[in-house]
């Protein structure tokens, strides 16, 4: 007789902000029959994995933290990666989350079993089952590798910024950096003084703003520790200041002209060579791609050991990267190290290939090229499943933690509703999901993200923005403040069939 796997009321995937936040709220609600599945040997998610030199958050520290767990001990106005990781570990410990975590449990497949009314989750550390499944595997969980001919033939050292090779000494090396996104602009200034030569392969120049980063003063730290209200006021001030960005991004993109002038001033401040300035000046509306922040990126690129290459990459050879200019002339750039700053699987998250409905169809197949979810959290055909940091919950202007907490609140109220009303199955209705996503698509029209003239990782293959929320975050928080059972098919436990309630007009 086959032994049944361990069963839980709730299974949570991942221990980044989403997974830890969900686990904390479950414990605070008195629901302790849950498990957190973590593929690594420690908590932290992307802030554990991304340990490259200079890694830091581009959202102010006081806002990039849980509302229920302020950290009065931030050292800087923009937190460096080690401090964010330590913060997450501390929260997990103080709130008792770590006792629920099973490390070394990489989720390989999660199947909905309708006859047993449960999720069967197969991991690298064994199988568990759960009535409810919550995915906290965020969009920055799995690095994306470029499809470049010959990349696997390179005989030097090659690694992705999300999996930094700290044992590889870059001193005196000839280094190629492929990509100019948020990670590259942070690590390039840190490695530039060490290397003999750095070739930065840039497909599209990003908008980079001056970063107003500073040390938190001793007085501020004392106030935050002894008068918590002062930190709450600082957090609220940052929040509402950041919300103003939406007026330019989503309401009137012409307002972003001021941002572009600031961006050009940042280039002119550090780069005197007109040819290099031209290479580094974007040709699209600010905000169309993610706006980056750095004080040392442009000064680093102006150094004599750096070459910014804008010609397209043709292939990688055992000891070189080959590019081709517009006239067809090829150039071989000899390097001994390649660092990939090519981002993550955002519009095609790997977890979607590992979640399967009752018929064995994956979530990725359901979505095709256009990921959709109701309130960015639940998906028709996948009962009792919640996706944190799901489709159209990303942000281009403020803290993702705010959106994650809104989703957690919605998920918790759904679970409470199920518990109080003896509901053992809930599945969002297709018509509700369709209406919601039509609303999101309509709101996205005219925003800088779809009309700014660039090709960004916000967009899917069809040019549709399935990543970002197209408005103010407070409006999303209002939409997810309460669970809405009328948009779901609900099944009472110990009853046959589903209890249906009408969808409101």
Q: pLDDT digits over 205-241, tens only?
A: 999 999 999 999 999 999 999 999 999 999 999 999 9
Domain identity same for 458 and 412: yes
> Domain for residue 76, yes or no?
no
b/e burial code for range 112-142 (CB count within 10 A of at least 16 → b): beeeeebbbbbbebeebbbbbbbbbbbbbbb
Cα separation, 304 vs 198, whole angstroms: 10
Domain end marker among 312, 340, 368: 340
Instruction: Tell me the residue range of the domain where 432 lies.
Output: 7-43+97-142+345-492
Domain identity same for 108 and 164: no
Angle at 401 between CA 132 and CA 107, to 5 degrees: 40
Cα 445 from chain centroid (whole Å): 23
> Domain for residue 325, yes or no?
yes
> Domain for residue 418, yes or no?
yes
Contacts of 240-244 with CB under 8 Å at 24 or more apart are 242/59, 242/63, 242/397, 242/398, 242/399, 243/397, 243/398, 243/472, 243/473, 243/474
Domain identity same for 418 and 314: no
Token pair belonging to 93: 């410990």
> Domain for residue 478, yes or no?
yes
Token pair belonging to 459: 């967009």
Domain identity same for 102 and 178: no
Cα separation, 402 vs 236, whole angstroms: 12
Number of Cβ atoms within 10 Å of the Cβ of 59: 20
Contact 288, 178 (CB under 8 A): no
| pLDDT at position 389 | 95
Domain identity same for 179 and 30: no
CATH number, domain with residue 325: 3.50.50.60
Q: How far is CA 279 from CA 190, 201, 283, 308, in A?
A: 21, 11, 10, 8
Beta strands in 103-251 (DSSP E): 107-113, 118-123, 126-135, 157-160, 174-178, 197-201, 208-209
> Domain for residue 81, yes or no?
no
Domain identity same for 326 and 435: no
Domain identity same for 315 and 182: yes
> Domain for residue 382, yes or no?
yes
Domain identity same for 304 and 416: no
Domain identity same for 362 and 328: no
Domain end marker among 340, 356, 385: 340
Cα separation, 176 vs 131, whole angstroms: 48
Cα separation, 411 vs 377, whole angstroms: 8
Domain identity same for 289 and 429: no
> Domain for residue 236, yes or no?
no
* Total domains, the chain: 2
| pLDDT at position 1 | 53
Sign for the CA dihedral angle at 60, 376, 351, 450 comes to: negative
Domain identity same for 459 and 313: no
Residue 229: strand pairing partners: none
Cα separation, 173 vs 441, whole angstroms: 47
Residue in the structure block whose two tokens are 């030199």: 53
Domain identity same for 20 and 125: yes
> Domain for residue 396, yes or no?
yes
H-assigned helices in 244-326? 245-246, 257-270, 274-280, 297-301
Residues of the chain under the 70 pLDDT cut: 1-2, 494-505
| pLDDT at position 462 | 80
Is residue 222 within a helix (H) or strand (E), and if so which, with residue range?
helix 218-226
Domain end marker among 340, 360, 381: 340
- Under the phi-then-psi rule, with left for phi > 0, alpha for psi from -120 to 50, and beta for the rest, what region is 38? beta
Cα separation, 182 vs 57, whole angstroms: 10
Give me the DSSP letters along 392-454.
T-B-SSS-HHHHHHHHHHHHHHHHHHHHHTTEEEEEE-HHHHHHHHHHHHHHHTTSHHHHSS-
């Amino acid at each position: 007789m086959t032994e049944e796997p361990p069963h839980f009321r709730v299974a949570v995937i991942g221990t980044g902000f989403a997974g830890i936040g969900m686990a904390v709220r479950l414990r605070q609600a008195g629901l302790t029959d849950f498990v957190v599945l973590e593929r690594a040997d420690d908590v932290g998610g992307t802030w554990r994995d991304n340990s490259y030199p200079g890694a830091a958050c581009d959202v102010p520290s006081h806002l990039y933290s849980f509302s229920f767990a302020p950290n009065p001990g931030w050292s800087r106005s923009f937190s460096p990666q080690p401090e964010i990781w330590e913060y997450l570990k501390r929260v997990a410990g103080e709130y008792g989350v770590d006792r629920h975590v099973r490390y070394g449990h990489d989720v390989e497949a999660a199947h909905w079993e309708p006859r047993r009314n449960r999720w069967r989750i197969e991991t690298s550390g064994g199988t568990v089952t759960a009535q409810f499944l919550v995915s906290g595997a965020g969009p920055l969980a799995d690095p994306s590798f470029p499809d470049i001919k010959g990349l696997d033939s390179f005989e030097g050292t090659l690694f992705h910024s999300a999996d930094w090779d700290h044992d590889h000494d870059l001193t005196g090396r000839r280094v190629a950096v492929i990509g100019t996104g948020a990670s590259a602009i942070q690590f390039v200034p840190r490695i530039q003084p060490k290397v003999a030569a750095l070739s930065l392969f840039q497909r599209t120049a990003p908008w980079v703003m001056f970063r107003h980063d500073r040390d938190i003063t001793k007085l501020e730290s004392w106030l935050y520790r002894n008068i918590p209200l002062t930190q709450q006021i600082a957090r609220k001030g940052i929040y509402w200041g950041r919300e103003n960005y939406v007026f330019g991004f989503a309401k009137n993109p012409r307002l972003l002209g001021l941002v572009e002038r600031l961006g050009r001033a940042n280039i002119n401040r550090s780069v005197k060579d007109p040819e290099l300035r031209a290479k580094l000046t974007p040709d699209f509306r600010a905000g169309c791609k993610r706006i980056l922040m750095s004080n040392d990126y442009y000064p680093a690129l102006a150094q004599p050991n750096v070459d910014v290459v804008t010609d397209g990459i043709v292939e990688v050879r055992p000891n070189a990267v080959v590019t081709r200019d517009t006239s067809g002339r090829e150039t071989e750039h000899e390097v001994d190290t390649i660092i990939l700053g090519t981002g993550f699987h955002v519009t095609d998250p790997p977890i979607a290939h590992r979640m399967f409905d009752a018929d064995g169809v994956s979530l990725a197949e359901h979505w095709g090229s256009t990921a959709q979810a109701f309130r960015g959290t639940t998906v028709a055909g996948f009962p009792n499943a919640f996706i944190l940091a799901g489709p159209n919950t990303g942000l281009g202007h403020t803290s993702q933690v705010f959106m994650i907490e809104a989703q957690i609140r919605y998920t918790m109220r759904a679970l409470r509703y199920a518990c109080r009303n003896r509901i053992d199955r809930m599945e969002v209705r297709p018509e509700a999901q369709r209406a919601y996503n039509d609303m999101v698509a309509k709101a996205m029209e005219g925003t800088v993200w779809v009309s700014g003239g660039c090709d960004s990782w916000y967009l899917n293959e069809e040019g549709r923005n399935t990543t970002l929320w197209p408005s103010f975050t407070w409006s999303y928080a209002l939409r997810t403040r309460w669970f809405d059972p009328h948009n779901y098919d609900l099944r009472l436990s110990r009853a046959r069939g589903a209890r249906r309630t009408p969808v409101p007009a």
